[in-house]
Amino acid sequence: MVAKWQIVVLFLCHSGHLKAEKTQVGYTPSVDCQSLPQAGYPFCDTSLPAGERASDLVSRLTLEELIAQTSSIAPAIPRLGINAYNWRSNCVHGWTASGGSWPPGLYWTVFPAPINLAATFDRYLVQQVAQITSDEGRGLHNVMLSRYNGSSTEAAGLNCFSPNVNLFRDPRWGRGQETFGEDPYIISVLGSAYTEGLQQGEDPQYLKVAACAKHFAVHSGPEELRLGFTAYATTHDLYDTYLPAFKSQVLAAKVAQIMPAYSGLKCAGIPEGAPDCANPFLLQSVLRGQFGAPNVSIISDNGGVGFVYSEQHYASTPEEAAVVSMDASTDLDLGYDVVYPTYLPEAVSDHLVDPATISDAIWRAFYLRMRVGDFDLPSMVSYQSINASHLNTPQNQLANLNAALESMVLLKNDGTLPLKSVGVAKVAILGPNANATTTLLSNYQGVPQFVVSVQEGITAALAGTGVEIASAPGCADVVCSDTSGFAEALSAAKGADYVVMVMGLDGTVESEGHDRVLTSCEGVAQDNLALPGCQTALVEQVAQLNPKVVLVLVNGGPVSIPSLLPNSGVVGIVEAFYPGAVGGTAVAHVLFGKYNPAGRMPVSTFESTADLLPSTNYNMSDPPGRTYRYFSGTPLIPFGYGLSYTTFKYSNIAVVPLAISPCQEVVVTVLVQNVGALPGDEVVQLYVKPPQIPDKPFFPKMQLLGVVRQSTDPSVSYNVAFNLSPYSMALVDEDGEHYIIPGEYVVYVGGGLPESSLEVATVSSAFSVEGSNVVNVKDCPNSPQSRSVSSGIKSARSEAAQTAVTTPDVRTSVAHHRSTEENLPSAAELEVCEQFSERLLAPFNFAKRTYTEDESLAGGAEGNEGSTAPHVGGAAVRSNWRLSRQLCYNAPSASNSTPCSFHPLKFTFKHPERQAFRGAKQTEKRGTSSGLLITNPLKKPSCIRMDRLSRDGPSQVVHYCGVVEEGYNKSEDEQREIAVVISAEGFFSTGLHNFAQATSRLEALLRYTFKDKLLLQVPSVLQHPSTFNLPLLFSLQCPVHSDQLGLLQLLSTHASQRLTYISKANTDSVVILTNTGLKLPTTDSHVHSTKMTDRTQFYVTGEPEWFPIADFVPGSDKFGFELSQACFCNELP
């Protein structure tokens, strides 16, 4: 019999065999727009905006047809060629199987639970997980569409009810495992990344999958009461804690759909309270009004509209429940026994509901379906070619393993970890979760081909070593109500070199429908937060017998282990949460040192329920306070905590400026160095402690405002910069408005929460906001203004149509740039700016690439309120641009004028015909070359930013800064060229996450070699050579000397790639770095080409009309560059 761990190895190593077994599945359109009469109707005209098409379709429906479409099982409309559509699908951490009629032999990826993804503190990884999830969701939809003749089936639609961006407010909540933790900032950042990953792909005309953020808005238990419970929230808590993640969903991530919670909300905006489905304050005033979301579809939770009557008793009849929910703006009624289709006809007849309101609701539903391409031919929608061969691929499983690895949190290590397999005779594996499989999948799981338990993962790691493995569960199940299994476990542990104990929770203890259950050990009740039943007693007895216990926790909500954390017999503790289908492999990799853990706790672990408020109390600041932002006590394990097998040192923190007036930004920089012996990730966290005002107890004690996860080799240091915008540092007052409060703000940067019970490396500084009056952020210059959205179908439809026509999506732009005509700085001004930047940045060896989340995500995307353009480019690029501008603008000058001004650059783009893209796979034929020439005819300080867009999301391609040097060995009239070449294949094989993670290794080598001559910031070299398939060609023109030829050896050794360094000594040379090895051509020709494996790449040595970009990106207008420029004041030290 073949063990599951062997299947994993075979699966990952023999991808070709697996793919060969997959077959293309025929596709049947869900809407027939080829037949008459509908072929001639505007709703089938693909040249029209989606809003206009939806308006035309709605205008052709009878009232009966409109009402029928309000059901989540939308019936077919045969006379218009429209098949049935089922709105019920989930994709919480991979596509959910529940409710689907799946054919046998169909498997797909089950990722770690969202609480695991939160523990990564890595938005790029979360986005990659969502991208793969949407790929597989599209594949499943297309498979099932063919199977059921064009009608979408349950669990296989083009929308999905994810992400869950509720706050994990109370650790007893059974659904906390579905969330991104307890911090509004992290939930906003990761939730937006997940939505972007689901919706965005290589085809900007369509959403890949329509995400649905849930459960709007104040919802986190108690589960047992959720159907009839009404939460009370202060206005402060509503806007400071509960709404930011949803605001980010709408404004930053552009979520397509929202699901209200079962529970109700009572607050100042609706003092009498109302169920969320029937809450006009939440749905109309906040969501559609304040957030500006007139076109977002709203669908109830399962049975939610009916519960307005039967559970909430807000309505006296089902008909009234239908009326108040529809009037509140709940568009669709999710459920099997729905209220809308049954009672809305009578309500319309009784003049209780305006038919136009129903028309509004169905317009939004069809608008969404058109945005996902449900009404268009498969040949027009590249995603419709995704099929079964895109499910469960080796690449997806590698990404799954990487997600599980990044989520592992090391809570304790006395030096025993990582474990050694050499010289070990016996290992014991104990605990009720040691051989668990389904438990690792959390809830809302898909159908994995295999699940690797922790015991199987360890067995695989020790295969062939001759180590004896003894095992025993010790408990019959996780409830572990008695000690009857202890003797067997103790016997297995006796004489073992070390004992791995896999304890924790499962769905019987925490789940949807019930919060953490009370358990007992031999009749003695256990604390609700503790390990269930006799589990703690089992660990204590084993540790006393054999003091070499490594504890692995498998759980969703945090578990309290106050007696085990300091127990000397417990030598190590790893928090694994619910790590998904390959979680056992990930745990083994961490235990045996194949992976250096760097996960962080996304929730606080409290010692006991005595530290908690009643679960029905939603007030965040009531003593002792909820979450790390308000808790006045000392948590057992703080939020943000996690260890590594290496050590990181923080130093040289700088805050600029140290004193600001309200509405100014602050830049924080810090130097981070790996001073340990192993490479590893560090999660750099920035916390701010705002002024503490006695009569404002609801202000948070401390809050997270920036996160960077960065990989670093031993002895390598790097700089991190954070921007603190006025909005991000503002505090929410009783009225829900954001104010900048005068006083001192203490800034902490380190590997975890400062001033906590467990020691973490941090450095601190402070800045002050001067003045005596508070300032509303809205009153700041250039502050985004609240949107005013009028109600009514005409407004919503016309806005959608206008947006589709007049608002360019920069993702579709082949060459998009901004050019500003301004006066150039004088020589004196420029010198002042250069001196200021050099003096400020020199101590930090400031790196061009900086990491910080866009402040638009922090606290609810306020920074993006005024923009209709989608996110393009990484946060690092945006932050760096803002940082450099801030440095230049803050430079002192005699005239107090801006020392560095913008000036125009010249852009020329060549864009020949390119090959189309097919689904998630490249066509056999590569794309043809395209090119771009960027020149600086005025030879002034300038910066070029180019953001590459692919199906893996936006990614920084090049960030170039420099000044034309005196004595440049060219003629006076010759223009300066800069360029970069990256093949499309690399983006498709690696994903955005790898680009965000691995810059520092190559950057450090380049900086070491070129020193002050380096003018080009290289985006990345991948950490995992096995997934590296990216020819990099960077061209920078600066003097390079023969003594720098040692770069070849450095790159080959540290980057594990065949990277070739080519230069002409003592000239203004072209430097080419590529893993395929180009030869430097002669300089008597303008454009040269050299054959590289199966493709040709081009580069420039003369003065061409354009600079080619080889293998640009196949697919017409599906990708592009964004180009911008700014003065960087020659800031490189």
Residues involved in catalysis: 301
Q: What are phi and psi of 730, to 5 degrees?
A: -70, 155
**Tokens standing for residue 503:** 């304890």
997, 713 Cβ separation under 8 angstroms: no
How far is it, in rounded angstroms, from Cα 717 to Cα 1000? 8
DSSP type of residue 340: H
C-alpha–C-alpha distance, residues 236 and 699, integer Å: 9
For residue 163, cis peptide bond before it (omega within 30 degrees of 0): yes
Q: Which helix (H) or strand (E) holds 886?
A: helix 875-889
Q: Is residue 186 classed as helix, strand or coil in its secondary structure?
A: helix
- Residue 961, helix vs strand vs coil: strand
664 φ, ψ (degrees, to nearest 5): -90, 155
Read off the tokens for 20. 């060969």
Q: Which residues of 123-151 are buried (b: 16+ CB within 10 A; e: fewer)?
A: bbbbbbbbbbbbbbbbbbbbbbbebbebb
Q: Which of 442, 438, 505, 427 is nearest to 472 (CA)?
A: 427
CA-CA distance, 60 to 63, in Å (whole number)? 10
Give me the half-sphere count of Cα atoms (radius 13 Å) on the Cβ side of residue 176: 29
Determine the length of the chain.
Answer: 1133
Contact 1063, 1045 (CB under 8 A): yes
Three-state SS string over 122-149 comes to: CHHHHHHHHHHHHHHHHHHHHHHHHHCC
Query: Over the range 189-214, which residues count as b (16 or more CB within 10 Å of their CB) and which as e?
Result: bbbbbbbbbbbbbbbbbbbbbbbbbb
Cα–Cα–Cα angle for 907, 913, 917, nearest 5°?
A: 110
Instruction: Report the C-alpha gap between 217 and 580 in whole angstroms.
Output: 28
Q: How far is CA 917 from the centre of its chain?
A: 25
User: For residue 552, what is the enclosing H or E element?
Assistant: strand 549-554
* Cβ atoms of residues 1106 and 868 within 8 Å: no
Collapse the DSSP code of 207 into the 3-class scheme (helix H, G, I; strand E, B; otherwise coil) and give the result: coil
Going by the DSSP 8-state scheme, the letter that residue 926 receives in this structure is: P
Check residue 704 and report its DSSP letter: E
573: β partners: 412, 551
Q: What does the block give as tokens for 525?
A: 């009740």
Q: CA triplet 671, 673, 676: central angle to 5 degrees? A: 165
35, 81 Cβ separation under 8 angstroms: yes
Please tell me the distance from the alpha carbon of residue 129 to that of residue 119, in angstroms, as a whole number.
14
CA distances (Å), origin 112, targets 91, 323, 1075: 12, 40, 33
Q: How far apart are CA 877 and CA 852, in angstroms?
A: 9
> Residue 961: what are its φ and ψ, rounded to 5°?
-140, 145
CA distance 773 to 281: 31
Cα-based torsion angle of the residue sequence 1017, 1021, 1023, 1028 in order, rounded to the nearest 10 degrees: 160
For 970-1001, letters b (16+ CB in 10 Å) and e give: eeeeeebbbbbbbbbbbbbbbbbbbbbbbbbb
Q: Please state, in angstroms and rounded to a whole number, the distance separating the CA atoms of residues 536 and 542.
A: 10
